[in-house]
Amino acid sequence: MKIAILGAAGRMGQKLIELARGTELEVVAKVDIADGYDRTWGAGVEGVIDFSYHTAVPDGVTKAAAEGIPYVIGTTGVTAEEQKAVDAAAAKIPVVQSGNYSLGVNLLLELVRQTAATLGPDYDIEITELHHRHKKDAPSGTALMLAKSAAKGRGIALDGAAVYGRRGDIGERPVGEIAIHALRGGSVVGDHTVLFAGELERVELTHKAQDRAAFAAGALKALAWARGRAPGLYTMRDVLGFAEG
């Protein structure tokens, strides 16, 4: 399968190119705004993996939809306006979109949902994420996915419960809050912890990515999976065959 990688010069792009070598996926277009890279992909490309920047996503996914080829989105920080282009494209082609393509995090999403459902609102939920200093968006797409899983477990919408960091005379913590905190530093690939703090005990669920290959391998798998599938917006959980929770 001939594929294009958007964001090919970046940390994830380089890892994707490295991992695709020797597989059935042949990288024929390395698209990036950096010098020495392709500005777009040409005819013959059969699928695209996008780990670039959120502003690039609408054009990329719309072009793929016009060509009828599958599109895998790893890029995070996509705005609500940009997401409309993704949703429109998904009516024509298979689109896989996930804030995290690792097996471990997709398992963690399920564990967080179950734990939130079992422990209930008496256990305060605080999510922390730690990433390298170059990361541009905050909180991470993964932290948002974890927060959504926690909200789902409690049977509530995240919007009404989410708090992003705290500062000043904030008063007592209201019951039911789901708080999200972003830490940045060094070269950390990506750590996430969901803390459930009760009166008598605490439960902490943690995932630590050691190598970007954990995400790149999942994204390559997602594109191979999407090939020939019906149009739609899929997640990595669909690719992994995890039950919807």
Ligand X SMILES: NC(=O)c1ccc[n+]([C@@H]2O[C@H](COP(=O)([O-])OP(=O)(O)OC[C@H]3O[C@@H](n4cnc5c(N)ncnc54)[C@H](O)[C@@H]3O)[C@@H](O)[C@H]2O)c1
Catalytically active residues, by annotation: 131, 135
Q: Is 10 in the site for ligand X (CB under 6 A)?
A: yes
Shortest reach from residue 70's CB to ligand X, in Å: 16
Q: Is 215 in the site for ligand X (CB under 6 A)?
A: yes
Q: Is 33 in the site for ligand X (CB under 6 A)?
A: yes
Rounded Cα distance between 84 and 173, Å, is 35
Cβ proximity to ligand X, 87 vs 122, nearer residue:
87
Give the binding range for ligand X (CB under 6 A) out of 68-76, 87-95, 109-117, 158-166: 68-76
Alpha-carbon distances of 52 from 29, 92, 105, 196, 227, rounded to whole Å = 14, 22, 21, 33, 21
- Of positions 1, 17, 19, 56, contacts ligand X by CB under 6 A: 56
- Of positions 3, 4, 5, 6, contacts ligand X by CB under 6 A: 6
Q: Is 51 in the site for ligand X (CB under 6 A)?
A: yes
17, 5 Cβ separation under 8 angstroms: yes
- Of positions 4, 5, 27, 52, contacts ligand X by CB under 6 A: 52
Residues 93-132 within binding reach of ligand X (CB under 6 A): 98-101
Cβ proximity to ligand X, 124 vs 238, nearer residue:
238
- Of positions 9, 17, 188, 213, contacts ligand X by CB under 6 A: 9
Cβ proximity to ligand X, 34 vs 203, nearer residue:
34
Q: Is 225 in the site for ligand X (CB under 6 A)?
A: no
- Neighbouring residues of 176: CB distance < 8 A, sequence distance ≥ 6: 121, 154, 156, 161
Residues 154-213 within binding reach of ligand X (CB under 6 A): none
Give the binding range for ligand X (CB under 6 A) out of 49-57, 155-163, 169-177, 192-200: 49-57
* Binding region for ligand X (CB under 6 A): 6-7, 9-13, 31-34, 51-53, 56, 74-77, 98-101, 137, 141, 215
